[in-house]
Structure 1
Amino acid sequence: MESGHGGWRSTGLLFVVLAAFASNSLLNRAALVGGQIDWASFTIIRLLSGALILGLFLGVRHGKAVLPRRGDCVGAMSLFAYAGAFSAAYISLDAGVGALILFPAGQISIQLIGLTRSIIPTRGQLAGAAIALTGLVVLIAPGATAPPLWSGLLMAFAGIAWGFYTWAGKGVADFPLATARYFVGAGLLALLLVPFAVTSTITWHGVLLAVISGAFTSALGYVLWYHVLARISIATAAVSQLSVPAIAGLGGVLLLGEVLTMRMITGGMIIFAGIGLAIWASAGRKAA
């Protein structure tokens, strides 16, 4: 962990990254709810924009074209699956609700993947995951104020895919280069969505929102995230992500006119409590 000016710099970068993550929800929802673009076109442009900016930058830096390798299949496919499901879910989900579903689904996915790699969670971590899952169920369970079930399931799938993407990049020697290869691979896969694109609904404003999401708040945001991770503790990183749904929810209320429901508040509090318990248990395990 850095101290002094370096610590303040890391804190500032962390805030920028978290704002970028929340902005992805706001940008996607704003584009779709306003009828500026369809979900498939948004996904295609988002991934190709990220691939272009990272591919050009890393290509110039390394003096050769950035092309995905066989070992990048999981990273590229999971990034494509995440981005596609994420955009499709936001046809009906509010920005804050989507982020609340995405976050615990991603964390639970990471825990389950860890099990397959013989990383056995403690009782506290299991209890935290169970509480977070309960909050997720409360959030999407049928009811008058429940979000559309199909959209909720799509966002949960996006969270699972995000977990696989996180694991794919874990431990790579050069994460910026790996991220560029993942985006190039995901961008190529995104072309499979062309038949689902509704070109008659695309506006320049919708394209601009997708480009900003892909090139800046996604591609550069992901690279910056792993840069920050090297300078802060894992516990701090995990706790900090709890702010993303809150930022997205507040942004949705202030910028998109979304309504903050009691279901969202209750489900969010349960989710935060569960994730907080899992983080506390993880910190205690490392200290033991």
Structure 2
Amino acid sequence: MTPLVWAFTLLAMLAFSANSLLARAAFSTTTIDPASFTAIRLAAGALTLFVILRCQGGKPTSLKAGGWSAFMLFVYAAAFSFAYRDISTGAGALVLFASAQLLMISYGLFKGERASILGLLCALGGLAAFLAPSASAPPVSAAALMAVAGFAWGAFSLLGRSQGAPIVSTTSSFIWALPLVAVLILTQLPHLNTDAFGVTYALLSGCVASGLGYAVWYWVRVRMTAIGAGAVQLSVPVISALMGLALLDESMSVQSAVAALVTLGGVAWVTLTIRRPER
């Protein structure tokens, strides 16, 4: 990858890490409910992307063009929010991105892509070692919801690669996901609740970590193979922990630091050895 693609990939991974931290902070320190968080996040992301798109002189695509992407985006965002009520930041990020990566690697292999298996094992082993010491076993229901979110996110990323201009397709997905959000809100009316900090976390998640973050990710995604896109996301749980160390006064052992370096090294190994199928 070029230096510019590397730089924007890092920005996208930082945004994804911020999403995990913001969601967990919202559900552990405020009274906002998952449906409200999801609605505010997606609405704020849609507005942010629409402004960006209009500034570029574009407009969203038709419902047909963005329907499946919108559905996958909604499933990811809703399952993500409900799962983070009962799962820690690190464990949630592990289940989420391992599921997404598994789907994308499977798709890449099916399409004939090849990469270093040792690199993949290195990245997965480092990630498991990094999360195991501090991650308690999450509730089965929360882990299952996060796995659904991960598979939906992987499908959303793959669909984005096959569509046209990244900003256009991403904006369309967010806009067409809003009717599904309305249905979710209607089904959760008795459980809705918000507060100032919860709304703030949701707005930051929607405008910055999701809206801007996804726009950058889609730009990067169309310049990567499916295996590369899946492998690079293995760095997100590690980055999330580093951000927690810096911003939330969390601690990190030497063993965790070494495991983080192994994970990032495995990601780089896979990315550098990816080979597209010959045509």
TM-score of the two chains, using structure 1 as the length reference = 0.76
Once structures 1 and 2 are overlaid, which stretch shifts more, 11-20 or 84-93?
A: 11-20
Equivalent runs, 1:1-288 vs 2, <5 Å: 1-2=1-2, 7=3, 10-59=5-54, 61-62=56-57, 66=60, 68-114=62-108, 118-120=110-112, 125=117, 145-194=136-185, 195-196=187-188, 201-229=193-221, 240-256=232-248, 282-283=274-275
The structure-2 alpha-carbon separation of the partners of 1:81 and 1:235, relative to structure 1 and needing over 3 Å to count, comes to closer
Q: Report deviation, 1:278.
A: 5.8
Q: Distance in 1 between matches of 2:56 and 2:71?
A: 25
RMSD: 4.0
Q: Distance in 2 between matches of 1:55 and 1:256?
A: 32
Q: Distance in 2 between matches of 1:197 and 1:261?
A: 43
Q: Report deviation, 1:163.
A: 1.1
The structure-2 alpha-carbon separation of the partners of 1:279 and 1:228, relative to structure 1 and needing over 3 Å to count, comes to closer
Aligned length: 276
Q: Distance in 2 between matches of 1:220 and 1:82?
A: 17
Q: Are 2:79 and 2:145, in contact at CA under 8 Å, matched by a contact in 1?
A: yes
Over the matched positions of the two proteins, sequence identity in percent amounts to: 35
Which 5+ residue runs of structure 1 have no aligned equivalent? none
The 3-state SS of whatever aligns with 1:170 is helix
Q: Are 1:169 and 1:175, in contact at CA under 8 Å, matched by a contact in 2?
A: yes
TM-score of the two chains, using structure 2 as the length reference = 0.78
* Offset from partner CA, 1:100-129 (integer Å, 9 cap, x none): 1111110111233456xx51466965x877
Q: Are 2:12 and 2:216, in contact at CA under 8 Å, matched by a contact in 1?
A: yes
Which 5+ residue runs of structure 2 have no aligned equivalent? none
Q: Distance in 2 between matches of 1:265 and 1:147?
A: 23
Q: Report deviation, 1:88.
A: 0.9
The structure-2 alpha-carbon separation of the partners of 1:84 and 1:131, relative to structure 1 and needing over 3 Å to count, comes to farther
Q: Distance in 2 between matches of 1:45 and 1:86?
A: 14
Q: Distance in 1 between matches of 2:10 and 2:114?
A: 30
Q: Which amino acid in 2 is paired with 1:28?
A: A
The structure-2 alpha-carbon separation of the partners of 1:236 and 1:91, relative to structure 1 and needing over 3 Å to count, comes to same
The structure-2 alpha-carbon separation of the partners of 1:133 and 1:198, relative to structure 1 and needing over 3 Å to count, comes to farther
